[in-house]
Amino acid sequence: MENVIRKFEWETKWLKGEEYYYILKNLDQYSNYFNMPKYGKKSHPMNIYLTPSNGVIYFLQGQSIENDFGFPRVEIKKLYKWKKMNFTTVLPKKKPLVRYLVASATKVQEKGKPSFRMHVVSLNEAGINPYILCHIRQLNVEYLDEPLPKRPKLEAMSPVSKSLFFLLDAANRIISPVKDVNKENDYVQMFKDSKVDKFPALSTHFKPLFVLSKQISN
């Protein structure tokens, strides 16, 4: 009796150890039904170096991840560079069914976080299945196609003398009847002619916020 072909969610998430185990135990059925190709030892499809796809699963000939898996040199110009990331781990932890390691792919022309990851899986029991499963998923990494906008250049600060000139001009425009700052102003007469709204302290209703008092010591 043939085993039932079960469709796992390999396009949207990494699979559990039991799910990888089920696919490897029924490798021929999955390869034919879901068009998961088989390749020779260390013979990856060329598109993983050019345009990797999310959710792809394929098989490489070999039984040992440590000895039969790798990324050999290819004759094409790679757009993505793949490399192993860690040591072999077992799944599940208590009663291992499969062994796996992780590989990552980064764009050759960019330095940053990887944009694709690969789970490389084999059965934990050696000699049962002569193939290794490769599962690729795209990571949530956004690359900017346009350069970052440059910060606007700050204008040079005005000289102190120029700043004082503008402050004096602003003060004259408010309280002085003389509009030409080049003329000498009679500030004593300006003070006498000023209204209460310009000098609140001249008002009889003005109340200071605090009063300084002198303490007399005995």
- Residue entry with tokens 């193939």: 131
Indicate if 124 and 182 belong to the same structural domain.
no
The predicted structure's pLDDT at residue 117 = 97
Indicate if 104 and 168 belong to the same structural domain.
no
| CA–CA gap between residue 170 and residue 199 (Å, rounded) | 16
Indicate if 117 and 174 belong to the same structural domain.
no
| CA–CA gap between residue 70 and residue 209 (Å, rounded) | 81
What does pTM read for this prediction? 0.63
Which among 117, 115, 109, 61 has a CA at the least distance from the CA of 85? 117
212 within a domain of the structure (yes/no) = no
The predicted structure's pLDDT at residue 57 = 98
| Per-residue pLDDT tens listing for the chain (218 residues) | 457 899 999 999 999 999 999 999 999 999 999 999 999 999 999 999 999 999 999 999 998 898 899 999 999 999 999 999 988 999 999 999 999 999 999 999 887 789 999 999 999 987 778 999 999 999 974 443 334 334 445 455 555 556 666 666 665 555 544 444 444 555 555 555 555 555 555 555 556 555 555 555 55
What is the domain range of residue 184? 160-202
**Residues with Cβ within 8 Å of residue 109, at least 6 apart in sequence:** 79
68 within a domain of the structure (yes/no) = yes
Indicate if 87 and 53 belong to the same structural domain.
yes
143 within a domain of the structure (yes/no) = no
Indicate if 58 and 97 belong to the same structural domain.
yes
197 within a domain of the structure (yes/no) = yes
The domain that contains 69 carries what CATH number? Answer: 2.170.150
Q: Is residue 101 a contact partner of residue 87, using CB atoms and an 8 Å limit? A: yes
Indicate if 130 and 196 belong to the same structural domain.
no
209 within a domain of the structure (yes/no) = no
Q: How many domains does the chain have?
A: 2
164 within a domain of the structure (yes/no) = yes
Indicate if 27 and 131 belong to the same structural domain.
yes
89 within a domain of the structure (yes/no) = yes
Indicate if 168 and 133 belong to the same structural domain.
no
